[in-house]
């Protein structure tokens, strides 16, 4: 298969005394359509099989103007959320005969732009992106003729095709559930508050409180910067507990904050009760083991990836697709 001593269409055609066109047609299944005799077809096919011929996809890509490759541009492969998306995308693309080229932006807008350009110059047939805040390049990418589907986050002020969840709604329903369960002093614990997603989740939280006639309290608003250390998280929890000793519930806007908080609760001997008074958007396999009573809005990551690929490859309508979270409300 590698570059060196490889069969080519031409070497086959010469060995068999036919033309390259004939070989190309037979091997791409157009033999009958082009009216190649059964005998020749068999000769070609057998020879190709015996010698283990594999077409040079780069040459084919150049010729066809399509590489059967998609690009995936995510912030990091370290976060299980993104690597799950990667998994879904890679596998669905593979199913459809596409390979996927992967790049990471480390949540850096300029790196992201650069990577998108690189993928473009590699002639991928389209890219799937979890955009950073500074994804202004998206519009120019599209107007330059590029295909793109956003995942998880939209780009503000652009109707780029996307597959997202309803963040406000999911947050609203989780927090409403906690309220129905009798909690009134519900904290919100968030990070990366500049992201539209996180803001929408915050809105859902506020809305749930207001509809229940509960006054939002600034002191119940916990926040750490993205990539916060464990210590920063613990400090924020400590602040919450000391300023609001009456806190009786926590809404986590993202899974990354849950386990550090859990560990801190355990160590400090704080009341945990299997997470009965907790709710979180998104979850990890470990959570169900450790905190089985936490209510969750399970993101349909598998479907998000599949949907993104299908949209990109024109297997379903292009548009702004809002997928539903699977709500699991525990008592």
Instruction: State how far the Cα of 22 lies from the Cα of 40, in Å rounded to an integer.
Output: 9
Is 266 buried (19+), middle (13-18) or exposed (0-12) by CB count in 10 A? exposed
Contact status: 270 vs a second copy (CB under 8 A): no
Residue with tokens 């991928």, as numbered in its chain: 124
Two structure tokens written together for 127: 């890219």
Two structure tokens written together for 123: 């002639």
Two structure tokens written together for 117: 């350009």
Nearest-approach distance from CB 41 to DNA, in angstroms: 7
The 122-151 contact track toward a second copy, x by CB under 8 A, reads: xx-x---------------x--xxxx----
Q: Pick from 15, 59, 268, 322: which binds DNA (CB under 7 A)?
A: 59
Sheet with 295-298, side-by-side order of all strands: 221-224, 186-191, 249-252, 278-281, 295-298, 326-328
The binder of 37, among DNA, a second copy, none, by C-beta within 5 to 8 A per type, is DNA
Q: Please give the backbone phi and psi of residue 320, each rounded to the nearest 5 degrees, phi first.
A: -105, 105
Q: Pick from 45, 60, 111, 298: which binds DNA (CB under 7 A)?
A: 60
Contact status: 21 vs DNA (CB under 7 A): yes
Contact status: 45 vs DNA (CB under 7 A): no
Closer residue to a second copy in complex, CB, 209/299: 299
The binding site for a second copy (CB under 8 A) comprises 1-6, 52, 54-59, 61-62, 65-67, 69, 76-78, 80, 83-84, 86-87, 90-91, 94, 99-104, 116-123, 125, 141, 144-147, 230, 259-260, 262-263, 266, 286, 289-290
């Amino acid at each position: 298969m590698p570059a060196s001593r490889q069969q080519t269409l031409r070497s086959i055609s010469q060995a068999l005394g036919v033309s390259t066109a004939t070989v190309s047609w037979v091997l791409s299944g157009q033999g009958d359509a082009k009216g190649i005799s059964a005998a020749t077809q068999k000769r070609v096919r057998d020879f190709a099989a015996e010698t283990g011929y594999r077409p040079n996809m780069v040459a084919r890509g150049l010729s066809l103007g399509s590489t059967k490759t998609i690009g995936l541009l995510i912030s990091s492969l370290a976060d299980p959320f993104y690597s799950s998306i990667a998994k879904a995308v890679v596998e669905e693309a593979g199913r459809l005969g596409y390979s996927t080229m992967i790049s990471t932006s480390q949540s850096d807008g300029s790196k992201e732009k650069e990577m998108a350009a690189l993928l473009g110059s590699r002639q991928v047939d389209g890219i799937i992106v979890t955009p950073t805040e500074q994804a202004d390049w998206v519009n120019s990418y599209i107007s330059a003729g590029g295909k793109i589907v956003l995942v998880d986050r939209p780009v503000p002020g652009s109707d780029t095709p996307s597959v997202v969840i309803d963040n406000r709604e999911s947050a609203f329903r989780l927090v409403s559930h906690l309220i129905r369960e009798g909690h009134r002093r519900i904290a919100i614990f968030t990070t990366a508050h500049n992201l539209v997603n996180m803001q929408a989740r915050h809105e859902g939280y506020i809305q749930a409180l207001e509809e229940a006639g509960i006054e939002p309290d600034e002191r119940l608003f916990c926040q750490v910067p993205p990539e916060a250390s464990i210590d920063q998280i613990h400090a924020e929890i400590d602040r919450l507990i000391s300023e609001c000793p009456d806190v009786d519930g926590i809404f986590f806007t993202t899974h990354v904050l849950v386990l550090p908080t859990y560990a801190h609760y355990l160590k400090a001997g704080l009341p945990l009760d299997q997470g009965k008074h907790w709710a979180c958007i998104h979850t990890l396999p470990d959570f169900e083991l450790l905190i089985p009573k936490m209510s969750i809005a399970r993101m349909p990551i598998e479907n998000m990836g599949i949907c993104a690929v299908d949209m990109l490859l024109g297997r379903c309508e292009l548009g702004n697709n809002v997928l539903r979270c699977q709500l699991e409300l525990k008592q």
